[in-house]
Chain A
Amino acid sequence: MKVDILYFAWVRERVGLSQESYQTSAATVADLIAELVTRDEGYAAAFADLSAICVAVDQELSDFAAPLADCREVAFFPPMTGG
């Protein structure tokens, strides 16, 4: 399946992209991360500390165990700092 992956803040800076369309058979968010980190050093650096990474699946805050079946958009970012 093809998913849009979005990156924000320092995750975006480390990956070097704000958005990409990505072909994957990953079943969960964790599986997707495991694929991404093998792509290059930027991805590996972005996902080096998973305790500092948040994920939204189809624009809802989610977690690494979340399934990706039928999902269109996955976003990775650091803990939010609004307000």
Chain B
Amino acid sequence: MSARVQEAAFDAAAEAAAFQSAVTQSGAVVSFTGLVRDDTGSLDYMFIEHYPGMTLYALEKFADQATVKFGLEKVLVIHRYGRLQPGEAIMMVVTAARHRKDAFAGADYLMDYLKSRAPFWKKEVSQGSATWVAAKDQDEAALAEWSLNSAAKES
């Protein structure tokens, strides 16, 4: 299984080590962990809502796309939902490829898709008031970039 959606915390170091020990043909493993950031110092907690029927399916689809696009040997995506404290790990992506560039690009591609196409919604609760995090135009632009690149390659 290449994707997991869970409420519980995960151990990013242990996940990366287990991933690496299962790799047989790759020369590069890239691991990215996203944390709950507290820009103002007043964040009480973050709440992540998701679409249970669709989330895992979407993550597996993106993992498969990245595998094909970058020739990855192995992919892992973990994404949490529910209530998270500042500094806690929200999600992680690990990729393995023969060479470094594909491993980095695969992780970057997955991150761009997770940001804007995986059915999660973040809410920040600070001093008793809750705000839904707005999607950023730059995240959409990053996604558009991937389709432009593949269009350029195909032409």
Q: List 6 A-B contacts (CB under 8 A).
A: A78-B132, A80-B115, A81-B122, A82-B79, A82-B122, A83-B114
Task: List A contacts of B134 (CB < 8 A).
Answer: 79, 81
A23 in contact (CB, < 8 A): no
Task: List B contacts of A8 (CB < 8 A).
Answer: 49-51, 119, 121
A31 in contact (CB, < 8 A): no
Distance (whole angstroms) from the CB of A34 to the closest CB of chain B: 23
Taking residues whose C-beta sits less than 8 angstroms from the other chain, chain A's interface range is 10 to 19
Q: Which of B57, B118, B123 contacts A82 (CB 8 A)?
A: B118
A6 to B119, CA, bound (A): 12
B53 in contact (CB, < 8 A): yes
Q: A8-B49, A9-B49 are in contact. Are A82 and B115 (CB under 8 A)?
A: yes
B17 in contact (CB, < 8 A): no
Q: Are B51 and A61 within 8 A (Cβ)?
A: no
Task: List B contacts of A56 (CB < 8 A).
Answer: 51, 54, 119
Q: Are A75 and B135 within 8 A (Cβ)?
A: no
B14 in contact (CB, < 8 A): no
B34 in contact (CB, < 8 A): yes
Q: Are B121 and A80 within 8 A (Cβ)?
A: yes
B117 in contact (CB, < 8 A): yes
Q: Are A80 and B120 within 8 A (Cβ)?
A: yes
